[in-house]
Every structure is written in structure tokens, then in C-alpha cells.
Amino acid sequence: MNCCLCDQALRFAPSWRGIFLYEPPELLCQPCRNEFLKIIGQGCKYCGKEGEAVCRDCHYWEEHGYRDLIHSGKSLYRYNGAMKDWFHQYKFLKDVLLAQVFAKDLREALANERALIVPIPLNAEKLSERSFSQVDELLLAAGIPYSHLLEKCGETLGEKTREERMATKQLFRLNGEAVPKQLVLVDDLYTTGTTMRQAAKILQEAGAESIRILTLIRA
Amino acid sequence: MQAIEAFLTGRIWIKQFIPFPEEVIQEATEKGSARVVSGISADGQCARCLETSPDYVIPFQCATCGEVCRYCRTCIKMGRISSCTELVLWTSPALPKSAPRAFGWVGSLTPQQETASKAISESIRKQEDHLLYAVCGAGKTEILFSPIHEALQKGLRICVAAPRTDVILELSPRFKQAFPDAVIHTLYGDSPEQTGYGEIILATTHQLYRFQEAFDLLFVDEADAFPYSLDPSLERAVKKAGKPSAPVIYISATPSKTLRKQIAGHSTIFRRYHGAPLPVPVYRAMWNYEHHLRKGKLPSPLKDWIEDKLQKKQPFLLFFPSIQLIELASPLLYKIDCAIAAVHSKDPQRKEKVMQLREGALAGLATSTILERGITIPHLQVAVIGADHRVFDRAALIQIAGRVGRNAKDPTGDVIFFHNGITRQMDAARQEILFYNKEGKA
Ligand SMILES: [Zn+2]
Ligand SMILES: [Zn+2]
Ligand SMILES: [Zn+2]
Ligand SMILES: [Zn+2]
């Protein structure tokens, strides 16, 4: 087996953990793994961005009609060069296997979660074109059960400027499933927070009381 | 020739990305001129790159077709192919038409080049594979011009493949000059789309995945790693791109033993086109160089060598075994002279930096092994830092040494191996260079 990012042969160092507890085989070589930078310590209370207690983006939302909509949240990794490469290969080259690269991190973050886990969806057309939903695949790889409560409307944020993104009105609608009181919204990449705020708003209106968020990457 | 036929002949293409309307493709398939195949066959082989390993052909739940699909990771950079992807192949054969063709090359060949050139033509006539075993700076490209011109006049479709983009980009203008009335396509990773029928295709080896039974004649440049033990998919790419009867001409300065044994027809040129011998590597001990670099010190033998080159205003390359070592060394090098820069394989400014070295805007470059080929700079001097490291095998060291003294006006220069102990690979490289020089004289 070779590293699934640089294609160098993987050198196996069998560990006691790997022998006694079932652990899926590592997909990355150590140098590639080391390129990814975890977000550590206390950052923004809503999105986990390193630095201030409330980041600039989240501050904007708090001041513009979305106060206390999100209870708290975090992100696991920084959006550095290696992460951009991974994201491109996963989402745009459609290399589904790469969902497994962060399986362990997501498992650690969500394994003991009692609230319902709700992935941010793709719209049906996009899903058929991409052939997989990148958030669902991340959760599947991590072995974390989830339920969809939302459907994506036509618009996508991809080609929008920062201002246009923040002014976008309706991105989601409910899919008709019952909305519980507590839930965790999961997405791949947190850029300005528009997606999460929109999703949270509609879920709150449908009866959710405590909404937390988790994203793999904070841009 | 119909436009769609010109585009598709010899190619294998994702249906969705064929630059013609759906109806035109449909009509061609109904008439039987084109055939549609599944991207991944039922038994798990990629139709484009022929990958079969389950490490690279991966099953997944596909939302496009709603089934369990497989996709190929080996050729994913060219647009992902999965079981439900349709690929189109042109099936009607193109008949070669002979006609006199322009020849724009006016240089002359040395007697050795002439002999090799004739031998290659002869192999092509007999439809046999051939190995051109020629030292760095032997003038390989010129040797090929006359055989290629003959093939072109016979109406053969020709491919010249090389592993790296730089080499292809360097060949392109020379071929356009030599064959002014030929349709030449230059294909590499992000090259602009070329939609007609190319008579001569200059392509990186990976691009050959996109062809199937297209060529009557193939040249594989820098075939040192052939048969590609590390990447067997490239070998498959060459076989697939050629018609079954197409001869393959392998070109290498350091062919493997297997290749030498495998191929009956050989030409050897151990002498550079300017007649001067190859510079012979010199060993210089530099104990614990890595430790010194980690402590922020440039080892003094290296420092002295660099200062000598700076003083003589000679451009130089410093080959390092790893990117980490380059990163450790580059601030130290910058301190000696701010005109010493660093490049590595992922550096987007690679081309610019090499140009700056050639033009004298940079004094020297620290580099990983990627720059070992495809670079010709007058008066160049070369040092290998840690020549004992396992990345520097015999072939790599010969290639590195081959960068020096390529210009007839200054056929000499330093090739220095700084080491932490002499390895068998270093000795093998040096012995081979001495052997070339001895043979080349005879
Ligand atoms: Zn790797
Ligand atoms: Zn925030
Ligand atoms: Zn493939
Ligand atoms: Zn499918």
C-alpha cells in the first residue's frame, strides 16, 4: 500500500494498539500526515478559529440577527496548503477514498455525542454530478451515525464574493423529518459561516433549542 | 477527414468532454465508426490507464448511477473515471498517406551521430524496437530528426514521450522548426486543448493514457527508469498508445540492464557532440553534514566551494537529498549571498528560477533531484550534498554530472560529491563515466 497523497510506499510500524484494538490501516505517510495542522486551544467560541474569543465572521453574525443561534462550535484543522490540496482532490477530483484520511479525528470528536448529528447536504443535481456527498462520506468513514433534516435549495455559494455570501437569504428547507431539541451540524469547510447560520436558523424555527456546529476545516 | 474523426482517431476520451455535440457522437457510434466503453470494466480494469490493482481501483456508493461503482485513482488527475463513465474510442482505421514533407533542420551530424541515426531508421523500417544509449550531451534530438522525417513522409503517426514536462516544452520549438508543415501537438499536465489530428505528438508519458492504438512509431526519451519498476502504469501507457506493430525507440543515458537485455537493436554514443570527455566526479568528505546543517552551520568544505564559484562568477547547482535539508540550508546559503535561491519539485516558480540562473540573475540554486535533467546552462558547476544518500543512485548521479560541460566553448566544470562515506552507487556512477570517456575516445 502506498500513501494516498504522495504515492510513496508506506512503511509499517506495527503498534500494540493496532494489534489489540482494531484500527484501520493508516493511509498517509508520516511526512504527509505532519503537513496537516490541527487547531489547538481555545479559539472562537462559535467556529473554533484561532485567535479571539469571537472571530470577525462570527461577530458579524451575532450583530446581524443571528445572536445566540449557535450555542457553540469548533473546527478541527487549519486550511493550510496541504489541506487545500486534500480538499481539492477530495471534493473536486472526487477522490472518495480521501474521506478516510480524517476518520479518526471525526470519530474522536463525535463518538460520545448524544445530540443528533446533521450533515449539511448537497442539492440533488450537485449530488448526482459529484457522485457523492462529501460531508456524508466523511461521517461514514468515521463510522458516525447521522440523519438528514435539511434539503439544499438551488443556490450554491461557490462563486460568490464574501459580501454576496453573507447576504444570501435562503439556502435550505426542511426535508420533513422531526427536528429534535439538540443537534450538531456538521460541514467540511467553514468559510464565512453563512451556510451554518442559514441551516441553524431554519432548524431553530422548526424547534431545535441547542444547536452546536462542527467543521473539519476552518478557512 | 471529418472533424470528429480527426479528434477521436487514436484517442480514448470521456464522452462528456468530447468537444462535439451529442448527436454527432451518437451518429458516429450508430455507424460503427466509434465505440462506447465503460470507464472501469466489469473485472475492475480502468479502460484509460489499464490499472487493475484494487489499491487504486476503489469501490464506492455512487450517487450518479445509484450503484456500487469503482473509480480509478491512478489517472484521476485527468478527470475521474468510474464504472458509469462512458469513454469513446474511434474504431475506423486511418490509412497512412505518403507524401513529400518539408524538412527544416539544417545542422550536420558527427560520424557517430550519423551511424546511430541510420541504425534507428533501419530499425523503424524493420518495425523493430531500438535502444539509443547516448551520454548526456551527445545530441540525441538531432539524431532523431532524419528518422522522424522519413516516417512522416510515409504518413506514419509519431509520438515522442518523455517523463517530464520541461523536456517536452524544450523539444516543442525544435520540432516545429524541423518539421514546419507537420501538425505537432504538445501535451502535458495543463496544456491547452488540441482538438485536430496531430501527426507528431510530443507528450509527457502520463498523457499517453489518453491514446489507444494511435501511433505507428514511438520514441521514449529518458527511458532510464524503463521498464518502469516504480510506476508500471507508464509502461502500460506506452504499449497501449502504440499500434500492435509499432516499433518503440528507447533513448537513455543510463539504461537499466533489463532494458539493455530486452532490446536487440542498439546504438551507443559515449562521446559528446563537441568531442570533449565528460567531467569526472570528485569526492570530498563532509562528515556529519546533516548535523551541521541542523545546528545552523554550513559545513566548511561546502562553504569554500561555493565561495570559489561566486568569486569566479560561475553559476552552480547544489543537489540536496531532501526538501527538509534544502529548507535547513537555504537561510544559510542566503547569508553567504542573497543571489542563491532554492527550488523543489512543488515550487511554482521553478521555471523562472532556472531561467534566472541561466541569465545570471541568480548565482546558484539549491535543488532536490528534480532538476537533474532537462537543464543546460553554460559554465555550470555542480555539487551533490550527501551523495551517499539513497536517493542518489547511479543513474541519478550520472544525470547530475551530465549537466556540466555541455557547451562546446566550455566543456569542463566541477562535479563534486560531498559525502558522509563513499557508496557503491557513487563508485558505479564514476566508473561508468570513466568507461564512457575511454570508449568515446576509441
Ligand atoms: Zn505521503
Ligand atoms: Zn468564529
Ligand atoms: Zn485509470
Ligand atoms: Zn456510478
Same domain, B179 and B293: no
Q: What is the mean pLDDT of residues B14-29?
A: 93
Report pLDDT digits (tens) over B4-13: 999 999 999 9
Angle between helices B140-153 and B165-178 (to 10 degrees): 60
Q: Has residue A25 been placed in a domain?
A: no
Domain range enclosing A200: 36-218
Interchain CB distance below 8 Å, B58 and A2: no
Strands (DSSP E) contained in A81-120 are: 116-119
Domain range enclosing B386: 282-441
ipTM of the complex: 0.89
Same domain, B29 and B122: no
Q: Has residue B277 been placed in a domain?
A: no
Report pLDDT digits (tens) over B300-352: 999 999 999 999 999 999 999 988 899 999 999 999 999 999 987 777 787 78
Pick from B58, B63, B82: CB nearest A127:
B63
Pick from A97, A129, A133: CB nearest B58:
A97
- Residue B163 pLDDT class (50, 70, 90 cuts): confident
Q: Has residue A22 been placed in a domain?
A: no
**Which pLDDT does position A26 carry in this prediction?**
84
- Residue B185 pLDDT class (50, 70, 90 cuts): very high
Check pLDDT > 70 for residue B291. Answer: yes
**Which pLDDT does position B395 carry in this prediction?**
87
**Which pLDDT does position B372 carry in this prediction?**
58
Same domain, B21 and B44: yes
Note the pTM of the prediction, 2 decimals.
0.82
> Which ranges of chain A have pLDDT less than 70?
12-24, 155-160, 165-169
**Which pLDDT does position A24 carry in this prediction?**
66
**Which pLDDT does position A14 carry in this prediction?**
54
Report pLDDT digits (tens) over B358-373: 889 999 999 987 665 6
Same domain, B187 and B245: yes
Q: Has residue B261 been placed in a domain?
A: yes
Same domain, B78 and B127: no
Q: Which of B118-122, B190-194, B219-223 has the highest mean pLDDT?
A: B118-122
Report pLDDT digits (tens) over B94-116: 777 899 999 999 999 999 999 99
Check pLDDT > 70 for residue B442. Answer: no
Same domain, B301 and B431: yes
**Which pLDDT does position A8 carry in this prediction?**
82
CA of B394 to the centre of ligand 3 (A): 31
C-alpha cell at A103: 476518520
**Which pLDDT does position B373 carry in this prediction?**
64
Tally the residues of chain B.
442
Last residue of a domain, one of B224, B239, B269: B269
Q: Has residue B370 been placed in a domain?
A: yes
What is the domain-level CATH number for residue A111? 3.40.50
**Which pLDDT does position B340 carry in this prediction?**
94
Q: How many structural domains is chain A composed of? A: 1
Check pLDDT > 70 for residue B42. Answer: yes
Interstrand relation of A210-218 and B158-162 (parallel, antiparallel or unpaired): unpaired
Q: Has residue A8 been placed in a domain?
A: no
Q: Has residue B286 been placed in a domain?
A: yes
Same domain, B12 and B70: yes
Report pLDDT digits (tens) over B200-250: 999 999 999 999 999 999 999 988 766 665 567 788 899 999 999 999 999
Same domain, B341 and B427: yes
SS3 state at A156:
coil
State the best of B51, B67, B73 to mutate against chain A, taking most chain A CBs within 10 Å: B73
- Residue B20 pLDDT class (50, 70, 90 cuts): very high
Quickly tell me which residue has 442559514 as its cell. A198
Q: Has residue B274 been placed in a domain?
A: no
Distance to chain B for A166, nearest Cα, Å: 30
Distance to chain A for B160, nearest Cα, Å: 26
Same domain, B340 and B436: yes
What is the domain-level CATH number for residue B367? 3.40.50.300
Q: How many structural domains is chain B composed of? A: 3
Amino acid at B152: L
Check pLDDT > 60 for residue B53. Answer: yes
Same domain, B69 and B128: no
**Which pLDDT does position B222 carry in this prediction?**
83
Q: B324 to chain A: nearest residue by CA? A: A31
- Measure CA of the first residue to CA of the last residue in chain A; give whole Å: 31
Q: Has residue B100 been placed in a domain?
A: no
Interstrand relation of A182-190 and A172-174 (parallel, antiparallel or unpaired): unpaired
Same domain, B16 and B42: yes
Looking at chain B, the whole-number percentage of residues with pLDDT higher than 70 is: 96
- Residue B2 pLDDT class (50, 70, 90 cuts): confident
Residue numbers in B near A128 (CB within 8 A): 63-64
Tally the residues of chain A.
219
Same domain, B434 and B291: yes
Cβ count within 10 A of residue B49: 26
